[in-house]
Structure 1
Amino acid sequence: MPHLELFQTLAISLALGLLVGLQRQHQNARIAGIRTFPLITLFGTVCALLAQDFGGWILGAGALGTTALLVAANLMQRLDKKVDIGQTTEAALLLMFAVGAYLVTGKTAVCVALGGAVAVLLHLKETLHQAVARLGEKDLHAIMQFVVISLVILPVLPNQAYGPYQVLNPYNIWLMVVLIVGIGLAGYFAYKIFGDKAGTLLGGILGGLISSTATTVSYAKRSKEGVERETNYNLIALVIFIATAISLVRIIVEVAVVAPGTLAIVAPPLATLVLLMAVLIVLGFFFKKENAGRMPEQENPAQLKTALVFGAIYAIVIVATSAAKDHFGNSGLYIVAIISGLTDVDAITLSTSRLMTAETIDQQTGWKVIMIAALSNIAFKGAMVAVLANRALVIRVASLFGLSLVAGLLIVWLWPEGFVLDWFGE
């Protein structure tokens, strides 16, 4: 087995063990929890690796050893309910036995990394237990929904193109759903950790990771709840603007993941707009008087309904993009970008990135399509603020968004073709 593939196998083994251990720990299982399950899972993986060289009896012996641990734990529980039934030490001993054996015939670096991971896992007992204890039923539900989206649905989807223009690949479409939901879920759990303590900067960053549109709507509505002299509209406008800037950074990350070969063309103009917005954010902090308050409650981004809606939008956008290119050329792509950007800039970003990789769209046109979609999304959020927010907030957001839109349009118009390649070479 190649070195990288071996690490990937062990990483998957650890992740699956942690996943099941998380659920058991949350249910207060006494025999095995957040640490024992990953240790046992890794033990099985190492036994299987050893069996490739020494025969299947090693795997059988490992299974018998694990069974013996469970039998002993249950016997102890029957004899004395006050006894600590934890089997972490026993599982760690079995695993380290297997690591030591594998060290003879396997990769030294793998064994060293595995031994270090076991030591850290044992050391983090209190930290892991406290982290699990802080999880509510809603949080565990979000994790399990993401498991369904990523580990149950994705593997069974056909990896084959269907439909008009042969661009509807169920596996690839759902993979984009997993990517977007994963980013949102990471922001959601960061919000769960920092939400009560989130200041202006962190509140905007978390809002951009979860959903900049939802953050805009939440703060716009909130601006009407307070008395004008008690509401710091500069701070609320800044949170909305930071979330919007982070949504552009998120676009760059999505392109880097989906179409890394196009990043040298797509990232520089987007990064230039982000830099200009960052300058406005820094200037905005000079008018900061007080904290903007607690972040509004964020919704779980791993809802299956949300995933299905995004998947449908992504499929529609990728077909519409291909059709527009076929019938109207580049001008049709820009119209699709404007319309799609009003609803979901992630969908047009991912679809355009994949079409650029497939060379259906040239890269110079592709980055402009993504930029126009992003600008359309900014304009849409500005319109929502105008409808939902207090007049004082509308003025501040309109100033920030207006400058950003003008800068973005100038970048689309004036950005020199091949600028990055001229400086850094192909």
Structure 2
Amino acid sequence: MELELFQTLGISLGLGLLVGLQRQHDQSELAGIRTFPLITLFGTVSGLLAQAFGGWILAIGLLSLAALAVAANFIRSRSPHYDAGLTTETAALLMYAVGAYLVLGNSTVAVAVGATAAVLLHLKAALHNLVAKIGAADLRAIMQFVVISLVILPILPDKAYGPYQVLNPHNIWLMVVLIVGIGLLGYFAYKVFGQRAGTLLGGILGGLISSTATAVSYARRTKGHQNTSTMLAALVIYIASTVSFFRIIAEVAVVAPKTLGTVAPPLAAVLLLMLLLGGAVYFFKGSDADKMPEQGNPAQLKTALVFGAVYAAVVLATAFAQDKLGRDGLYIVAVISGLTDVDAITLSASRLMHTGNIEMRSGWRLILVAAMANLVFKAGLVGMLGSRAVFARVALLFALVLAAGLLILWLWPESLQLQLGMALGDEH
């Protein structure tokens, strides 16, 4: 018991020193390297006393600390260089609560909160610079994502409706939040790097935002523009498509983690080939620079509604095809869905595998077929919108990937699939 108590006090002291070090380094006049450890220890001791004498001890301690902060600020307000910021005062109150929670709550949570407070205090300049870079359009993107994820999602009913009882509004919108979130991550990464993003980073960001939109943007740049390198454009389109395979595996991991051991290996085999092929092309591409075209906001409500409608249609079509046409009918749905949005069929197949409505050996094949159909669709877009040279390069790269995908669909051994699935399942 005593050892546990000293461990708690030691953690409290360490967290206080961590925050105090940062405040001292930032030249805070109110509290620094000595005061913050005392505040955190004060909270811990108050928590210990509250266990024996009641919660009123914590309330008195908090009021006392607040009174000290008010008195200190009153004295400092007479100085000509007085700073009216409340960061240090708020940090002091938080660290008092962290010290108390070490005793009365979960110590892991308390440590995480204390460490997060220290990091946030340290990142003052970086956060201020980030906010300064955010324009009206970026702020609108953030607020739109808040509406999509924190306003709309919680109020949707978590219940199945419609034919085959497969249309769950909450689950459908949850997939929308996932896809929009991935796109928003890529969008803000683009805002950080902007047009400075070169070939490799441009392809990665394009794949996170939308590999199809990236293919359209770069294909158009080669049409009638002699100063645009067709090799660079083809490579960016290819890299974005490679990242889309990463997205597919990540989406399966989030939606149906238990199926990952079965689904991931064949998809990873295609991805490995794409990485090797892309690395070889990147090595021989030369040293030309490239800039990313302007990217749109992926968190628009219209975009979310369209994806939600596509996902719901794919879920319904999959259930219908399975009921009326059997397993072969699912591949028709996969091809049609893959032509427009591979995310929809990926998420749909993942959920069906997770619920046991389709076998995992069929599920990964559906996803791979959809991904291959999406490559064909993007190659067609490049052919229509881009120059002949960029189409030839993209078509060659995609043809090699498609050939590998067909071989995997045909030759992938089910025994190896089972062994890998069991091995990864045991790890989880």
Please say whether Structure 1 and Structure 2 have the same fold, judged by a TM-score greater than 0.5: yes
Alignment match, 1:213: 212
Alignment match, 1:203: 202
Deviates more, 1:59-68 or 1:85-94: 59-68
- Within the candidate set 353, 357, 377, 1:356 is matched to 353
Return the alpha-carbon distance in structure 1 between the equivalents of residues 263 and 382 of structure 2.
29
Output the TM-score relative to the length of structure 2.
0.81
The 8 Å contact of residues 349 and 367 in structure 2, kept in 1 or not, is answered as yes
Alignment match, 2:240: 243
The 8 Å contact of residues 199 and 235 in structure 2, kept in 1 or not, is answered as yes
Give the residue type in structure 2 aligned to 1:115. Answer: G
- Residue 257 of structure 1 deviates from its aligned partner by 0.2
After superposition, the C-alpha distances for 1:365-423 in whole angstroms (9 at most, x for unaligned) are 11111100000000000000010001111111111111111111111111111313335
Matched ranges for 1:5-404 at <5 A? 54-55=54-55, 84-227=83-226, 230-404=227-401
Return the alpha-carbon distance in structure 1 between the equivalents of residues 180 and 203 of structure 2.
19
Give the residue type in structure 2 aligned to 1:249. Answer: F
Give the residue type in structure 2 aligned to 1:207. Answer: G
Give the residue type in structure 2 aligned to 1:291. Answer: D
The 8 Å contact of residues 195 and 203 in structure 1, kept in 2 or not, is answered as no
- Residue 56 of structure 1 deviates from its aligned partner by 8.0
Give the residue type in structure 1 aligned to 2:375. Answer: I
Distance 1:363 1:104, change over 3 A: closer
- Residue 352 of structure 1 deviates from its aligned partner by 0.7
After superposition, the C-alpha distances for 1:56-78 in whole angstroms (9 at most, x for unaligned) are 896799699889989x999x99x
- Residue 254 of structure 1 deviates from its aligned partner by 0.1
Distance 1:59 1:132, change over 3 A: farther
Deviates more, 1:402-411 or 1:381-390: 402-411
Return the alpha-carbon distance in structure 1 between the equivalents of residues 64 and 191 of structure 2.
41
Q: Partner of 2:191: helix, strand, or coil?
A: helix
Return the alpha-carbon distance in structure 1 between the equivalents of residues 354 and 234 of structure 2.
37
The 8 Å contact of residues 232 and 289 in structure 1, kept in 2 or not, is answered as no
Give the residue type in structure 1 aligned to 2:284. Answer: F
After superposition, the C-alpha distances for 1:282-330 in whole angstroms (9 at most, x for unaligned) are 1112331233521010111000110011011101100100110000001
Return the alpha-carbon distance in structure 1 between the equivalents of residues 250 and 361 of structure 2.
18
Return the alpha-carbon distance in structure 2 between the equivalents of residues 97 and 299 of structure 1.
44
Distance 1:412 1:160, change over 3 A: same
Distance 1:67 1:277, change over 3 A: farther
Output the TM-score relative to the length of structure 1.
0.81
Distance 1:60 1:177, change over 3 A: farther
Q: Structure 1 unaligned segments of length 5 or more: list them.
A: 1-45
Return the alpha-carbon distance in structure 2 between the equivalents of residues 199 and 376 of structure 1.
28
Return the alpha-carbon distance in structure 1 between the equivalents of residues 130 and 309 of structure 2.
35
Give the residue type in structure 1 aligned to 2:135. Answer: G
The 8 Å contact of residues 232 and 285 in structure 2, kept in 1 or not, is answered as yes
Distance 1:338 1:80, change over 3 A: farther
Distance 1:66 1:378, change over 3 A: farther
The 8 Å contact of residues 234 and 287 in structure 1, kept in 2 or not, is answered as no
Return the alpha-carbon distance in structure 1 between the equivalents of residues 360 and 333 of structure 2.
17
- Residue 108 of structure 1 deviates from its aligned partner by 3.2
The 8 Å contact of residues 221 and 228 in structure 2, kept in 1 or not, is answered as no
Return the alpha-carbon distance in structure 2 between the equivalents of residues 134 and 354 of structure 1.
39
Give the residue type in structure 2 aligned to 1:218. Answer: S
The 8 Å contact of residues 338 and 373 in structure 1, kept in 2 or not, is answered as yes
- Residue 113 of structure 1 deviates from its aligned partner by 2.7
Give the residue type in structure 1 aligned to 2:325. Answer: F
Give the residue type in structure 2 aligned to 1:194. Answer: F
Return the alpha-carbon distance in structure 2 between the equivalents of residues 175 and 226 of structure 1.
42
Give the residue type in structure 2 aligned to 1:189. Answer: F
Give the residue type in structure 2 aligned to 1:105. Answer: L
Return the alpha-carbon distance in structure 1 between the equivalents of residues 180 and 67 of structure 2.
38
How many residues get paired? 376
Percent identical residues: 60
Return the alpha-carbon distance in structure 2 between the equivalents of residues 60 and 224 of structure 1.
73
Rg comparison, structure with higher value: 2
Q: Partner of 2:210: helix, strand, or coil?
A: helix
After superposition, the C-alpha distances for 1:110-139 in whole angstroms (9 at most, x for unaligned) are 333322222222222111111111111111
Distance 1:87 1:383, change over 3 A: same
Distance 1:361 1:225, change over 3 A: same
